[in-house]
Amino acid sequence: MKRVKHLIFWLVVIGIILLLFSSHVIAEDSFRQQRHALVDIIKAGVVTTRDYLNQEALDEPVLDALRKVPRHEFVLDAERPYAYQNRPLPIGHGQTISQPYIVAIMTDLLKLKKTDRVLEIGTGSGYQAAILAELVDNVYTLEIIEPLAKQAAENLKRTGYDTVHTRTGDGYYGWEEAAPFDGIIVTAVASHIPPPLIKQLKPGGRMIIPVGAQFMTQYLVLVTKDANEKITTRQILPVSFVPLTGKH
């Protein structure tokens, strides 16, 4: 009798484990399908805004990164059902995870190579850093809000992006010890392009940054530095970002 009860107990345990595993597999497959559908929406959005972008399509490695990185792992639990909608979502502390379309075009405009070194200003939940880590070997990211920086580091480690260098600090001043950078991406709006970031941009490098003021017109601006360190800028399209904060 004891053997029968013991056997029934373990059959129940195994059944529960298999059920949980099956549910996890089904959920992950659903998320994967949603990521692919989201990429199709982003591609259509790029075609619609091609006159702003001066291109009709994004580079395939960028699209592959969007298909691979699990955005649902970088949002609050309550926001998971909306993780693959093409819109920003709150992540706490008055901050948001950017709209996937914006993440896509900002990443694409950097025109990254695998060997590039990239700096991100405004880690948020870590999603943009994970996208960058799919494209380059060296990603550095700064977040001024300490609890967000800590959570982002945990998110990146949990999802396998533990080679991303994270730090709590004022992004306006960049990361001088790790400079120069082939690419710099700023995920908060600034009233002007921070001089320290221009200085830390490598000749031949690119920076993408929203410039303007909160509740007023903001533009995504592409900054390039040529081999002679001459700076040129180009407005891409109107956007809406939370402000870059700090002591500056």
| Catalytic residue list | 98
Q: Which two tokens stand for residue 238?
A: 């109107």
Question: Among 109, 118, 107, 119, which Cα is nearest to 222's?
Answer: 109
Edge-to-edge strand list for the sheet holding 138-143: 165-168, 138-143, 117-121, 181-186, 201-212, 218-225, 231-239
> Is residue 89 within 8 Å of 187, Cβ to Cβ?
no
Q: Are 201 and 180 in contact (CB under 8 A)?
A: yes
Q: Side chain identity at 195, as an amino acid letter?
A: P
DSSP string, 108-132: HHT---TT-EEEEE--TTSHHHHHH
Beta strands in 71-195 (DSSP E): 89-92, 95-97, 117-121, 138-143, 165-168, 181-186
119 to 49, 56, 68, 89, 206: CA distances (angstroms): 26, 26, 21, 23, 11
